[in-house]
Structure 1
């Protein structure tokens, strides 16, 4: 058997799909990622399986849906049965290495990988297992996720530079075995404090101010209230927050450019993000919802055997592990619900949210042009036709026949009501344990 190729996977935090040069954004500068996109395959309808950091990352690493592994919220600590890319690729003789942000909670900093070069920032890690409080009166302490903005030094920037340095050191002497190198960056995650030289690339006057509907879905209204997104911002704050977000993406691109320069052309390279960023659309900053800026993510794959292309098939982060197994020469694993991106097929995408800001579980089915959002029997759903309404401003949930059809399709993947009850039960048990502790 031929030696399988080396693999570099780069994961950013909170990079929405549209905010990139290769995606057609008129202002965001991503020259290194643009070059990677030109050399490989861009999956233009890629989605996260949860618009929340830890659930998304645990899902993508396990190749399992959130509900399959109980990754409900940012307090989840993986149990002993949790299996990652590292466990899987060991079968093919790979050495698996982590550099930077993984957002793994708990004392196990490897979770099946062989080596860790640098770790997460301590203040992002939760070792208590405490779940979020999901009550109507819950509110984020401040709206600093948008109002903490401008230029300056920040620990996230320092983390990303140190992560790049550690990854480059490894790439200079990776050893004899084929390797899987995962590099995790903080940027462009808030706070929106950008290095001055990258902020200088942008003019706040170029920002197109997002529109916010007066009459919003009740679940979205509560979510906005919980995360203090209903607190008024000045036009200057919106413009500055947006260009700082762009600047953080450009700094991320600069870091990735250094990695790409250090690997030969026969190295398989994958770039993606854990979820997107609403950046003011629908009056929301951060993510935690199913509008496209929050759930649609960049996904690039460069493989020597693939012809550069743009793919419209719906794919999601659970497809990464089957892809890695395929690249490594391993047989497909029937326990994994995803599908290898080396031979992509258009299939419905499922995304879930079970955390603060929503009293009941949220579920998104993306199928063809249709997006169906289910928030429990007590709440109205949302339905959008993204082909005709890419900004998701025209809710079609009044079409009863359409809702019934999409709801039936969602229930082929899971029982949303039973899943919601299971999530709440698990969170209640974890809350009781953490409170006693």
Structure 2
């Protein structure tokens, strides 16, 4: 009933604002499927040897798959703020989970709403401040979640902070799963003769920990399958940043053997398969609707997850490992290329520039996103491009557990308590990543910097930053980083102010 009333509200709003599509308006509709914490390499079309993602794989065959799409930050909010503004987080300080896009800042959804798009949002936020929603979104609902069975460990036991969960007591098609419910709401919206053009944003829970899943997906894969067919990256590698050992230590995971982490990965893969099933329901519904031929569908994520690799769990604010920065970016547009793969790197905020270009909307602010519309029609990527990501913190108000509602510092039973303690006592030095087709540099002014030769070491196992044979590569990439920081360190507003004095509201009478 609530869902139906919400759709009626949208329709009435559209009528009141004359938002129905005019005959000459040929702009596409958009649907953005955006599951949280879904890494690229855990999807079949990205090369995983046994995970079952038939809907995503079919979708990739019908559109364009970007093989090297990298996020701007490896936590939810900073990554999402960058995606909608087209700006790096160092420009306006969107570096934390609690510093979101303000109403005075331009963003993609606001541009589209002002250009007569109906903007629908079903899912989590982690992007817009409260004041920004009314100016940027037509209607929204917090339909989000994937059920799990609760912590697999009791408080005080080793593993309590591992995020490992028991299986859920309900199945994937239960409306208790908010992500599934959000897709149903989208299909109901589409079936209701909605105002066009529209954009629907579905930022779901996706693959986000805890590592649990609905009953029919929890045991879909086994630790043995992971061990034999897709071995995880092992821990205790030399020359790795401090968090590679700190996460294991603070979460009390040192006593577990490799099978434990293989099991975490197996359950994570089950969640990815559930994401695939929900996505398949969405695409099938759109394809069966009258909007199949004029709706562009984007599938991506805000960041990845360790999921047991290196014996690590969740993510880390100062981590820029590929399993955290590399996300799926699969796009199908009306009349676009089919089965096209772009191997050259892009940044995830390029989605903003692409959608605005397709909607014939001009951004009225300085941004750094690049449209990939040409690639969606079959063009190749830019082999000389370097993409960037950032992370870590320097000031006390950048620390993750500052959100008082989550009580991450005050409640030891909070699953993020151990992480909060690690950030508070060990820190997470700021990091900037530069990545091209051949090398990846993670530069930390404090802490361990990293360089990986991607031609020889795609899994990032051998840090050669201090290897004298790569000294020239380090010098050149750090020089490029300096130039990038200077060129993008701030933005000048496009609106110019009159330097003269404004007319005063009234004249003060001179005293006699």
Query: 2: distance between equivalents of 1:77 and 1:334?
Result: 17
CA contact (8 A) 2:219 2:267 kept: no
From 187, 205, 221, the counterpart of 1:168: 187
- Partners of 1:10 and 1:149 in 2: how far apart? 25
1:320 to partner: Cα distance: 1.0
Matched, 1:217 2:240: yes
Change (3 A) 1:227 1:312: farther
- Secondary structure (helix, strand or coil) at the match of 2:133 reads coil
2:308 to 263, 272, 280: 280
Name 2:478's counterpart in structure 1.
Answer: 407
Does the 8 Å CA contact 1:99/1:163 hold for their aligned counterparts? yes
Matched, 1:53 2:122: no
Q: Report deviation, 1:298.
A: 0.3
Q: Does 1:84 align with 2:111?
A: no
Q: Is residue 271 from structure 1 mapped to residue 299 from structure 2 by the alignment?
A: yes
Q: Is the 8 A contact 1:62 1:85 kept in 2?
A: yes
Query: How do residues 109-258 of structure 1 correspond to structure 2 at under 5 angstroms?
Result: 110=133, 112-119=135-142, 144=160, 146-153=162-169, 158-208=177-227, 209-210=231-232, 211-221=234-244, 223-224=246-247, 228=251, 231-258=254-281
**Superposition pairs for residues 269-418 of structure 1, below 5 Å?**
269-288=297-316, 289-308=319-338, 309-331=340-362, 335-344=366-375, 345-346=381-382, 347-355=385-393, 356=399, 357=423, 358-376=427-445, 378-398=446-466, 399-414=470-485
Which structure 1 segments of 5+ residues have no match? 123-140, 420-437
Give the alignment's TM-score, normalised by structure 1.
0.84
CA contact under 8 A between 1:150 and 1:241: conserved in structure 2? no
Distance verdict in 2 for CA 1:229–1:46, change over 3 Å = farther
Question: What is the CA-CA distance between 1:354 and the residue it aligns to?
Answer: 2.7
Deviation at 1:294, TM superposition (A): 0.8
User: 2:408 is matched with which residue?
Assistant: none
Query: RCO greater where, 1 or 2, for CA within 8 Å and sep 6 or more?
Result: 1
2:500 maps to which residue? none
- How far apart are the structure 2 equivalents of 1:164 and 1:109? 24
- Do 1:188 and 1:248's aligned partners in 2 also have CA atoms closer than 8 Å? yes
Q: 1:406 to 1:78 in 2, by over 3 A?
A: same
Contact 1:5–1:178 (CA<8 Å) still a contact in 2? yes
RMSD: 2.7
Q: Distance in 2 between matches of 1:280 and 1:167?
A: 33
The corresponding residue for 2:11 is none
Q: SS of 2:46's equivalent?
A: coil
Give the match's secondary structure for 1:75. Answer: coil
More displaced 10-residue stretch of structure 1: 287-296 or 156-165: 156-165
CA contact (8 A) 2:123 2:142 kept: yes
Distance 1:406 1:415, change over 3 A: same
Per the alignment, in what secondary structure is the counterpart of residue 51 of structure 1? coil
Which has the larger strand fraction?
Answer: 1
Partner of residue 433, structure 1: none
Counterpart Cα distance in 2 of 1:167 and 1:109: 22
Return the index of the structure with the highest Cα Rg: 2
Cα pair distance change 1:198/1:37, threshold 3 Å: same
After superposition, the C-alpha distances for 1:347-367 in whole angstroms (9 at most, x for unaligned) are 211101134544421110112
Deviation at 1:282, TM superposition (A): 2.6
